[in-house]
A and B are shown apart, each in its own frame.
Chain A
Amino acid sequence: MTQTAMAMEAYNAYWANSFLPAAHIMWMVLILMLAIVALWQARTFVSKF
């Protein structure tokens, strides 16, 4: 199944009013950055405790 035009319109509407540039991509970049920091902290935690 592919996305319908209506579904894509509703999806894009969520990011349209964002205060950040390219918000539809930035949120994924932010999550990836947070995930990397969390994994790095978890590895540090494992080695220290």
Chain B
Amino acid sequence: MDLKTLKKQESKRKISKGYMWALFCAIFWGIWYLPGTVVWVLNPFDEMYATIAEVSGDGMSLVVTAVLITAFNALTVMLALMLWNGVLGKYGELGRTLKEFHPCSKWFFLASIFGGPMAILGSFIAMGFIGGAFAAVAGLLYPVIGSILAYYWYGEKISKRAVIGIGIIVLGGISIYGGGLLTELSSGNVPWIGYLGGLMAAAGWGIEGAIAGKGLDIAEPDAGLTLRFLGENIIWWIIIVPILAILGFPMYSFAFQVFEPLTMLILVFAGLTFGFCYVTWYKSFPLIGVGRGQGIGNLYGFCAVIFIFLFFGDIPDWTIIVGGLLCITGSFIMFTEDSSALETLRGE
């Protein structure tokens, strides 16, 4: 076997692993919706929501409660990532990446700003002021922004076939949440802040992916992602939660009540799924590129519907089935792309 054939074989293996990680991301992201949904009805979050809603209204209460849930989610994600890095023997690499702020870790801290407060908070604002379906559709548009940024910023190659695949997956996602979206948008006055939240979600995750792609040129994804969540924890626990407490929201009184076995158990599983979803998302970027990684990751919309159907018993509408078929078609178009087109991910 000559060197060229060996190189081609190696590249093919890397690409198939890249798609595998992106698929893992979609599955973990989809199943995250189970703990991510049920945690809202548990104490102290249900009481926190009711207490703040009495004073500040439902929309504001949803956003503030979401901040506390997201902050705890970020904490349990760190635990999951420490487990991940421990199993892979990456603690040394973690320390090395943290020390190299200028070439490496600055990108991951920057990614945490866009992925954390901008995207997640934006998503919750969209959910609170318009509705869950709108937030989901807005979030699904992030690969469009991610792949455009990666193309213009550092010349990541994106083939026509990948563009078609990503487009079909986005259309599938829109079809999945389309019914709810129309109901929400036709329900009357839609506040502009809800649209701003949707834009923050799509732009935040798209920009995060592009920045991560840049950081992953020189850093390792497992360590890089852990630093990204270290940054997110700093943002929530040292900046946003204290600011909300100063503004008069009862953040700390409810935060201290979280140490209840069932609530903690749900938060640990939320952290495990979210952490593993994110780390597999980051692992896919250097192998198949930001655009494809985000495109396949977008299958989370379809995975969420399947897990919600199986575990909550919610029977999906026909629009969801059509959306699911579109998602599968889009993924198939991307999976079957000739691997020689992916031998180098960057342009000349």
Q: Which residues in A have some Cβ–Cβ distance to B below 8 Å?
A: 1-4, 6-7, 10-11, 14-20, 23, 26-28, 30-31, 34-35, 38-39, 41-43, 45-46, 48-49
Contacts and interface: CB of A to CB of B under 8 A. Distances in A.
Interface string B263-292: 101000100110010001001000000000
Contacts, number: 88
B111 interface: no
A12 to B, nearest CB: 10
A11 B41 contact: yes
B272 A35 contact: yes
Nearest to B258: A1
A35 B276 CA distance: 7
A14 B122 CA distance: 26
A28 B14 CA distance: 31
* Majority DSSP secondary structure for residues of A touching B: helix
Given A3-B42, A11-B42, A19-B313, A38 B280 contact: yes
Contact of B87 (A1, A3, A31, A42): A42
B312 A7 contact: no
B20 A41 contact: yes
Interface in B302-330: 307, 309-314
Interface stretch (B23-31, B61-69, B123-131, B206-214): B23-31
A3 B313 contact: no
A29 to B, nearest CB: 11
Given A38-B276, A42-B84, A3 B43 contact: yes
A42 B287 CA distance: 14
A1 B44 contact: yes
Interface of B is mostly: helix
A23 B311 contact: yes
Contacts of A20: 310-311
Contacts of A16: 313
A1 B260 contact: yes
Contacts of B314: 17
B41 A18 contact: no
Contact of A3 (B14, B20, B260, B311): B260
B199 to A, nearest CB: 31
A14 B260 contact: no
Contacts of B337: none
Contacts of B283: 42, 45
Contact of B46 (A10, A41, A42): A10
A9 to B, nearest CB: 9
Interface in B70-102: 84, 87-89
A17 B310 CA distance: 9
A18 B313 contact: yes
A34 B28 contact: yes
A31 to B, nearest CB: 6
A15 to B, nearest CB: 7
Interface string B187-213: 000000000000000000000000000
Nearest to B39: A11
